[in-house]
Structure 1
């Protein structure tokens, strides 16, 4: 049992209730500053103490600060001003509680009382919690602009403090989309813009707010060129999103970010292509026409990137732009053209878009000596395999030279079952497509006046049947 006069660990219920209600007179009573006392349920009657804490180790002052009880906070500090530096389980002082809840008047009071009682406001303002956050981080995280202004007026250097995750208050405010706090923080010239993993506040802003993006670029235009730990610039982040206005802002600042490549060798145009953001691609090309020549670490242009990510819209965009059609026949380090990749990804819609392009070469061999048509034997979906096989055939794609007895059967799902049904589908598709290209036959005509397309269809059907058996 706890004896009278021994420091109590947990706060008695009456004191807790009085503190949460903000009743400073009752708290005064319970603390024994009058003749009254309170029972703690242990059969021992004695005054409550300011040293008592809740299970989270919050003191009466933590409670008063978090709830904005100005009068109670003044009474408590007059009894024991050292509570201004008291810490709970998270190493938070009462100032943190006030900042988190947005009580700017309480924040001002705590700063004033710290100075009046000789504790020092810098001592109170400089406290960090167990994650390295300051009260300014807390204000930014919860979008309390008035609290941020009070703290910045008292200690502007707080804007340069980063927590254990390398997050500055400015980064936190950008993530929170708090325009007011960002505006307050950037008034301090030495404010940190740091974020986790070497990101900056601008990396966060481009995915959150046009206004904040504009503020940060006006404040420090060079932020546009700073890379995170994956070598991604804010433009990489913006290109992955679809906000064209933010991309315009980034392109309008003095920046070489269009040409900067991340750890994979992807430039912003590669990123936009991977996401299928055609308007962003178009804007990047208009700003920097030669950006179309940027290759990633695998020697792939942005069309390769779009195709590999299954974005037929990118192939369609390239097809419609006469100056970009050359990209369709470019080979990566493995010799694959975008058409090779489209087949490998069994993306029939992308295959169709590429085949519509003027000047597309359908029988280029990769480093393995395989044409796009050869790669159909790797497809696992009978539906896509049939569509792609027929489309390539009628477009003039050829198999590479090989002995017919070396042909491997397809492993596409559903090919070995329902053979007659599959052959019927192929026949219908071939007939339909053949009819549609009657007036523009791939390969022209042979010496007997017969369309060469028949040879392609014959070979394709033969290959398909071979795969069935």
Structure 2
């Protein structure tokens, strides 16, 4: 019996509603009443009822619907929706329908190698969705049936995209690692954009370890392969899954890095010559050479991807950079199509951890520091530039200028003396470019700091006024002799100390804020003292507010306390609540300052330890030759 269009629409509406309401009995009943049964196309994308049941993870319903299909109609299970997906493809979208996939393949094994319109088999589809359990089952099923050249249909899509590429993009690193082990020939395969699996991994910045210290400690306590831990502590399930993903990502990265040697093919850095070191003579010579070089290159609308090392640098994947340089330290000399090496890019993209890694590699650092890109930019020129994506990281202008100034000073120590006078293709030295690019930021920083200093000065003066007044209107008042009535109580001493500290810190912060307002706001001031002055003034202002609250709390306890503990606790809580809110508002800024100081202190300690060990273990008797004595006396400077 053929249904009319009106009847079909009404049936589909009823079935779809039943599916959404999880009314399995109604769905089965409806399927029993129509000619095609569970193979009836339900959606506008030509999904059958079985398609929908599997997609909605209804394992029991899907198995019952399959039982309604007679053995002689098993060939009809190969129906494909408008996207070409079979019902086996739908099982690949979740891990709870493995039993359904077993039954489907028992009835229609030909579904295993059927592809959708993108050329993806069900196995490929499982890797796309990152579903581990169904991937294992389908991979084992394929391995039992196909081998050799017949495996290509399961590993490659029509556009050349491999199953390893799609597994990496799905962020299921266990599946990607399993594919890389079992199908090593895919490690070097490129997609239609010439991207290898390692290049893709370098661009997505996988998490190899948690950023939180607490999580790192927990991860050390968790065995990712221990299945019994879930029975003892169920709340560890999420952390166990995250640790498993981190471990799998690191294993995958190491495996791919060992097989990747793309850095061996590189652009030539010796072509980047012709820069000038002063403004006289043929000032356009370097620009003309650059234009001549560009005109000799045919115009191609194609952006060739960089090597994994440079991609990892751009995307701040420090772990991948470290692993590549550990296995292939010579890869550090690779340059991209613009002539920039890893040190250029790490400065341009502000990858401070990668700069730390490169600073620890003394010999490669000597090789990199004097290189120029194709526009004759030195490392110092890179400090003045900033990629667009970093501009989205909103910071107040003073902090941004301070960080750039500190980076400039840091990079200047790495560069040769010649780099400070080297002119790029625009005939500008690095400091000229730096000042031009940062002059608008300096104007913003000046306005920002002056406005904040003025506003905070008003607050500090008000606090000082209140503290000064409180010193002469003590709680309880004076006695006949002029001494405070409550002077013998402990809380009175606390009130006196808190009021004195509040007054002195408020006045000190006012002096510092006035010093900021009258500052010349030179570039070097932001890196040296200006920002520290503002932070110090803020800290003093917070201390002043906090001590004012302490004095307020002490006054309340002295005057209206009823000797009840709960009353005193309530008074302290009400008094200190504004202080807590105020401190936490600026807590993130203080964390950055502390981390910066810790990094500098750690680096200084490590450098001193290295110098001491060098003197102890590499000690040699002093030579009688004057030149030998000179070399020996200055060798420690290069440690």
TM-score, normalization by structure 2: 0.48
2:10 equivalent among 53, 60, 63? 53
Tell me how far 1:376 sits from its aligned partner. Answer: 2.7
Tell me the equivalent position of 1:235: 198
CA contact (8 A) 2:38 2:66 kept: no
Query: Structure 1, residues 62-120: CA drift from partner, whole Å, max 9, x if none?
Result: 959975449946x954x65433442122201122123223344554555554443x3x3
Q: What is the SS of the residue equivalent to 2:10?
A: coil
CA distance 1:65–1:427, change in 2 (3 Å):
closer
1:201 equivalent among 159, 163, 186? 163
CA distance 1:354–1:93, change in 2 (3 Å):
same
Tell me how far 1:378 sits from its aligned partner. Answer: 3.0
1:256 equivalent among 256, 260, 263? 260
Q: What is the SS of the residue equivalent to 1:296?
A: coil
Tell me the equivalent position of 1:94: 49
Tell me the equivalent position of 1:337: 378
Tell me the equivalent position of 2:82: 130
Query: Structure 1, residues 314-334: CA drift from partner, whole Å, max 9, x if none?
Result: 233222320221222211111
Tell me how far 1:383 sits from its aligned partner. Answer: 4.9
CA RMSD of aligned residues (A): 4.0
Tell me how far 1:268 sits from its aligned partner. Answer: 0.7
CA distance 1:165–1:7, change in 2 (3 Å):
closer
CA contact (8 A) 1:107 1:150 kept: no
Query: Structure 1, residues 29-52: CA drift from partner, whole Å, max 9, x if none?
Result: xxxxxxxxxxxxxxxxxxxxxx67
Tell me the equivalent position of 1:350: 407
Tell me the equivalent position of 2:37: 83
Taking the aligned partners of 1:100 and 1:192, their CA distance within structure 2 comes to 22
Tell me the equivalent position of 1:423: 520
Does structure 1 residue 297 correspond to structure 2 residue 250?
Answer: no
CA contact (8 A) 2:406 2:527 kept: no
CA contact (8 A) 2:159 2:192 kept: yes
TM-score, normalization by structure 1: 0.63
CA distance 1:265–1:290, change in 2 (3 Å):
farther
Does structure 1 residue 142 correspond to structure 2 residue 117?
Answer: no
CA contact (8 A) 2:164 2:179 kept: yes
Taking the aligned partners of 1:92 and 1:145, their CA distance within structure 2 comes to 20
Q: What is the SS of the residue equivalent to 1:130?
A: coil
CA contact (8 A) 1:306 1:314 kept: yes
CA distance 1:289–1:129, change in 2 (3 Å):
same
- Equivalences for residues 390-405 of structure 1 within 5 A: none
Does structure 1 residue 313 correspond to structure 2 residue 353?
Answer: yes
CA distance 1:176–1:349, change in 2 (3 Å):
farther
CA distance 1:384–1:303, change in 2 (3 Å):
farther
Tell me how far 1:269 sits from its aligned partner. Answer: 0.7
Tell me how far 1:307 sits from its aligned partner. Answer: 2.3
CA contact (8 A) 2:369 2:415 kept: no
Tell me how far 1:224 sits from its aligned partner. Answer: 1.8
Q: What is the SS of the residue equivalent to 1:146?
A: helix
Tell me the equivalent position of 2:369: 328
Query: Structure 1, residues 127-173: CA drift from partner, whole Å, max 9, x if none?
Result: 11122222122222233332233334444443434433454433432
Structure 2 gaps, min length 5 = 209-246, 267-301, 387-400, 446-516, 531-639
Taking the aligned partners of 2:329 and 2:518, their CA distance within structure 1 comes to 49
CA distance 1:185–1:216, change in 2 (3 Å):
same
CA distance 1:161–1:7, change in 2 (3 Å):
closer
Tell me the equivalent position of 1:219: 182
Q: What is the SS of the residue equivalent to 1:186?
A: helix
CA distance 1:168–1:298, change in 2 (3 Å):
farther
CA distance 1:295–1:429, change in 2 (3 Å):
closer
Structure 1 gaps, min length 5 = 12-50, 388-419, 434-469
Taking the aligned partners of 1:80 and 1:386, their CA distance within structure 2 comes to 73
CA contact (8 A) 1:66 1:101 kept: no
Taking the aligned partners of 1:93 and 1:302, their CA distance within structure 2 comes to 53
